[in-house]
Structures are given as structure tokens and as C-alpha cells.
């Protein structure tokens, strides 16, 4: 799948059920509830990636920010299993970086489970570096690696 085949945009309240079911497929702990999704969608913090027909959600991200901070936090991020290793997460991440730059942010931060080798490999490949570690960070007792990526200026074409 290439960039033109993917539609990326803000989630709508009508997406809550699909997002909640995606969340149970992607994560075993610290899942986002329907109520939280509704709240985050109203704050325009949930970004969804759909396939070429702009139908089913193939991936999503939650981006959090505070007004007086130069950082943006990638709070959640994932692609449905059957659509992985096709570059979709890369397309979504590039768009999120663009959104963060447009919002005047200089750094993206995230937390990732220390045993989540696929995600660690993905984030390292995309320039994230570890800056911390949190013991028993997750509800199931799992540890988190804290990562960040400085957002370089992209020159005008």
C-alpha cells in the first residue's frame, strides 16, 4: 500500500466503536475506554488511517499536547495486524510529525513496553532515542522505555 492509498484524518464520534474494538485487538493492558475515546475525539486528539476506499480504520494514533510545551506525546499508536509491514505506520507517523511541526512542536515523545520488539524496532528506525525507563509503568506491571525524537525543520520545496 502506498501513501496515496491511505486516507488520514481526525476521528469522528461515529468511530468510537471501531476504535474501542481495535484497541482490544492491539493491546492487552492500559486500553483506552470508549469514554476516553469520546473525550479525546472531541479534543481532536485521535487521528485515523483508512484504506483506499476511506472505509475501515486500519490504524490510529492519539496525540496529546499541552499549550505551553514544545513537546507532543504519542499516547497510542497502532496498525491492524493484517495490514502491517506495508509501510502504513510509517505513513501515519510522518503525518503526525507534520502535524506536530505545524503546531509549533519541536519534539515527539512516547512510552513503549520494553518487550514490544516490533514497536521498538519501528521507532528506532524512525529516529526515536531512549531517554528514560519506568519500572512497572503499565497496569499489568510491565516496564516502559521512554523515547523521544527531535523534529527537524523540513525545508520548503
Ligand X SMILES: CC(C)(COP(=O)(O)OP(=O)(O)OC[C@H]1O[C@@H](n2cnc3c(N)ncnc32)[C@H](O)[C@@H]1OP(=O)(O)O)[C@@H](O)C(=O)NCCC(=O)NCCS
**Residues at the interface with ligand X (CB under 6 A):** 26, 77-79, 84-90, 110, 112, 116-119, 121-122, 125
Q: How far is the CB of 152 from ligand X (least distance, A)?
A: 19
Those residues with Cβ within 8 angstroms of residue 59's Cβ, 6 or more apart along the chain or in another chain? 48, 49, 77, 78, 79, 80, 83, 88, 89, 92
Which of 118/152 has CB closer to ligand X?
A: 118
Q: How far is the CB of 57 from ligand X (least distance, A)?
A: 12
With respect to ligand X, which residue has the nearer C-beta, 99 or 156? 99
State the minimum distance, in angstroms, from the CB of residue 75 to ligand X: 9
Q: Residue 149 CB, nearest distance to ligand X (Å)? A: 13
Considering beta carbons, is residue 67 or 85 the nearer one to ligand X?
85
Three-class SS state of 149: strand
| Ranges of H-type helices in 74-136 | 88-102, 117-125
CA dist list (Å): 146 to 31, 62, 74, 112, 157: 18, 16, 11, 7, 33
Contacts with 17 (C-beta within 8 Å, 6 or more apart), sequence order: 34
**In terms of CB distance, is 63 or 112 closer to ligand X?**
112
Amino acid at each position: 500500500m502506498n501513501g496515496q492509498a491511505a486516507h488520514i484524518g481526525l476521528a469522528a464520534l461515529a468511530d468510537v466503536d471501531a476504535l474501542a474494538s481495535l484497541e482490544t485487538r492491539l493491546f492487552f493492558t492500559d486500553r483506552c475506554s470508549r469514554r476516553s475515546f469520546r473525550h479525546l475525539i472531541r479534543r481532536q486528539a485521535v487521528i485515523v488511517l483508512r484504506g483506499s476506499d476511506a472505509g475501515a480504520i486500519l490504524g490510529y494514533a492519539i496525540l496529546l499536547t499541552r499549550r505551553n510545551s514544545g513537546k507532543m506525546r504519542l499516547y497510542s499508536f497502532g496498525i491492524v495486524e493484517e495490514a502491517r509491514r506495508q509501510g502504513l505506520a510509517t505513513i501515519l507517523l510522518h503525518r503526525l510529525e507534520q502535524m506536530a511541526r505545524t503546531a509549533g512542536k519541536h519534539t515527539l515523545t512516547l512510552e513503549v513496553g520494553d518487550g514490544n520488539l516490533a514497536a521498538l524496532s519501528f521507532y528506532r528506525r524512525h529516529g526515536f532515542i531512549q531517554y528514560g525507563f519506568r519500572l512497572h509503568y503499565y497496569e499489568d506491571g510491565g516496564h516502559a522505555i521512554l523515547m523521544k525524537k527531535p523534529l527537524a525543520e523540513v525545508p520548503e520545496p
